[in-house]
Amino acid sequence: MKIIVCISKAPDTTSKIAFTDGNSKFDENGVQFIVNPYDEWYALVRALELKEANGGSVTVLNVGDASNDAIIRKALAIGADDAVRIDAPTQDALFVAKQIANYVKENNPDMVLLGKETIDYNGSQVGGMVAAILDMPYVSLASKLDMNGTTATIEREIEGGVEVIETSTPFVLSAAKGMAEARIPNMRGIMAARTKPLNVVAAIAADNATEIKSFSLPPAKTGCKYVDADNVEQLIDLLHNEAKAI
């Protein structure tokens, strides 16, 4: 079973969110970068479990520059066999999807797994775009994936419930909570990751379909209006008459 897991670099969940260059760039000063949690905890770990049960290989794929190598090594330490970095500055989702689709087409994996979204841009775009470019089925927000030969049985989140679906390889899947339990790399994995192959390949030409012009922070709350714990009725009254929320 040949599996490609797409991973993305994201700021740690506790990072302070600030911007520079006239609010046009994310301020990376003092920010620690991690493998995007949905890519790592769910997509990568489930891929490793499937490989352990069925044999095969797990390749992690990243589109980015050399500054991404540290998080790629982390994915290798968790257990991926090898890694490929498509060498390009990270750009918009369609650009990234075209790079991934091109690599997938040349390497014919049984499946492409990635997280449901990144925790920085929250795009939730790349998986569907890759599937559409390659004309493959796309299963998004999957919380369970079981393989039987070339048949995949998958649970995916829908509004107020779960759908059980079946598809066949090759397919693209975006992983959500429930898919697997996060793994912490052990010392042996960290040592082994240093010598595992990390191949850098050239990007193909593609345009950006979107561009971030500027960032802003949500307007600060004007301040919390406190109600005395002995006067709960006043809170309900404010919610009804002032906030018009109930």
Partner 1 sequence: MSVLIYTDSADGTLTKNAFEAANYGALLAKKEGKTATAVVLGEASDIDKLGAYGITKVLHVNEAALNNFDPQRNAAIIAQAVTKENATTIIFPHDYSGKATAPMLAAKLDAGLVTGAVALPEGNTVRKAVFSGKAFADVEIKTAIKIISVLPNAVDKQIGEGSVAVENFSCEIPTTRLTVKEVKKASTELSLTEADIVVSAGRGLKGPENWGMIEELAQELGAATACSRPVADIGWRPHHEHVGQTGIAIRPNLYIAIGISGAIQHLAGVNGSKTIVVINTDPEAPFFKAADYGIVGDAFEVVPKMIAAVKKLKG
For partner 1, which residue of 32, 122, 148, 195 counts as binding (CB under 8 A)?
122
Kindly state the helix (H) or strand (E) to which residue 175 belongs, with its residue range: strand 171-175
Cβ neighbors of 37 (< 8 A, separation 6 or more) are 10, 13, 115, 119, 182
**Interface with partner 1 includes 204 (CB under 8 A)?**
no
Reduced to 3 states, what is the DSSP secondary structure of residue 179? coil
Q: Does 191 bind partner 1 (CB under 8 A)?
A: no
Residue span 58-87 as binding mask against partner 1, x where in contact by CB under 8 A, dash where not: ------------------------------
Question: Rounded to the nearest whole angstrom, what is the least distance from the CB of residue 81 to partner 1 in the complex?
Answer: 27
Nearer to partner 1, 79 or 115 (CB): 115
Q: Which burial class, exposed, middle or buried, applies to 164 when counting CB atoms under 10 A from its CB (0-12, 13-18, 19+)?
A: exposed
Does 205 interact with partner 1 (rule: CB under 8 A)? no
The residue among 15 and 198 lying less far from partner 1, judged by its C-beta, is: 15
**What letter would DSSP give residue 44?**
I
- Neighbour count for residue 184 (Cβ, 10 Å): 7
Please name the residues in contact with 148: beta carbons below 8 A apart, sequence gap of 6 or more. none
Q: Does 185 bind partner 1 (CB under 8 A)?
A: no
Could you report how far apart the first and last alpha carbons of the chain are, in Å? Answer: 54
167 binds partner 1 (CB under 8 A): yes
Among 56, 128, 185, 189, binds partner 1 (CB under 8 A): 128
Least distance (Å) from partner 1 to the CB of residue 17? 5
Task: For residue 183, state whether it binds partner 1 (rule: CB under 8 A).
Answer: no
What's the token pair of residue 100? 């991934």
User: How many residues sit close enough to partner 1 to count as binding (CB under 8 A)?
Assistant: 82
